[in-house]
């Protein structure tokens, strides 16, 4: 397997809308395997293909404490969501060392394909619901910081520019 390079905000490629996977084949399974390895290596709980500059609708997630319950979602889509909202502190492998509160639907139902190309649906709450919404946002070209106020976004961009100058 290969550890992939993760794009960092504000890289414009993070705003690319991913295209649907047309066939779940060995190439897609290899991408998912590489993404999984990359996510675990970076100590993340989720990774969207967009974050590794692959603009196809593939997401890998493992929200388990034991880090041994990998879930792969190909062409994931939210087909239902609760009216109730919940605040969660989110972070992102593409925005290192930045965490902030984001309000999202408390529960979602997601439809996707598995590694065999079979359709499945899953009802999610808690961290899995947050994670899938966050990763599907990536596939739609949206980074979690876009859920924050303009003031916070501008502060973050200034902080990143300063870090780049200092390095």
Catalytic positions: 135
Q: Return the residue matching tokens 């399974």.
A: 29
Residue 15 in marked binding region: no
DSSP 3-state helix, strand, coil percentages of the chain (rounded to 5)? 35, 30, 35
Please tell me the number of Cα atoms within 13 Å of 23 on its side-chain side: 3
Residue 55 in marked binding region: no
**CB atoms near residue 152 (< 10 Å):** 13
d(CA 21, CA 59): 11
Residue 134 in marked binding region: yes
Q: Which two tokens stand for residue 6?
A: 């993760």
Per the annotation, binding residues for Fe cation are 92, 134, 138
Per the annotation, binding residues are 92, 134, 138
């Amino acid at each position: 397997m290969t550890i992939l390079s993760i794009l960092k905000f504000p890289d414009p490629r993070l705003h690319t809308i991913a295209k649907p996977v047309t066939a779940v084949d060995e190439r897609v399974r290899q991408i998912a395997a590489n993404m999984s390895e990359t996510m675990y290596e970076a100590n993340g709980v989720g990774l969207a293909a967009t974050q590794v500059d692959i603009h196809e609708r593939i997401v890998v997630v493992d929200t388990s404490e034991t880090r041994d319950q990998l879930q792969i979602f190909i062409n994931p889509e939210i087909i239902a969501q609760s009216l109730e909202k919940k605040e969660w502190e989110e972070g992102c492998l593409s925005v290192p060392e930045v965490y902030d509160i984001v309000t999202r639907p408390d529960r979602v139902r997601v439809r996707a394909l598995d590694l065999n190309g079979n359709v499945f649906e899953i009802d999610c709450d808690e961290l899995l619901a947050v994670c899938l919404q966050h990763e599907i946002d990536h596939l739609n070209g949206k980074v979690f910081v876009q859920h924050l106020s303009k003031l916070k976004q501008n502060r973050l961009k200034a902080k990143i520019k300063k870090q780049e100058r200092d390095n």
